[in-house]
Structure formats: C-alpha cells, structure tokens
Amino acid sequence: MNSEKIGKLLTTLRGEKALRDIAAELGLSPAAIRQYESGNRIPRDDIKENIAKLYNKTVQEIFYSE
C-alpha cells in the first residue's frame, strides 16, 4: 500500500469539491482528509469503505491497486 499514491488518487477523486464538504459527508475533520490526501496517514478500514462508497469505487480500486 503506497500512501503517496493513495493520497494523489484521493485528491484526484475529490476533484473540485471542497475539502470541508468531503469531510462533512464522511463525518471527519478536514485535517484528517488532508492527512489522507497528503499521504501522511492511511484511513482505518471502516473509513476506507466510506470513502470508496462516496466516490463510487471499491476499496481495492482506491487503496490496493498497483
């Protein structure tokens, strides 16, 4: 699992949406989303599932693709 690659993908998936809007939809702080997008943190499994649902992707597509 490459946290930097995951972070870039999460940033791409967010697109033009505001960080605070994504954070609100996921019930997280904008700082947590920033950490995931910067590659400094990997979300817990339950959060991975919520992120995948939000972006209409699978957990594997976002977090485990090579």
Asked whether the beta carbons of 6 and 42 are under 8 A apart, the reply is yes
Tens digit of each residue's pLDDT, the chain (66 residues): 799 999 999 999 999 999 999 999 999 999 999 999 999 999 999 999 999 999 999 999 999 976
- 36: domain CATH number is 1.10.260.40
For residue 65, the model assigns a pLDDT of 79
Please count the structural domains in the chain.
Answer: 1
Q: Residue 20 belongs to what domain range?
A: 3-63
Helix, strand, coil share (%) of the chain residues, nearest 5: 65, 0, 35
Give CA separation, 24 vs 32, 50, 64, in Å: 11, 12, 25
**pTM of the shown model:** 0.92
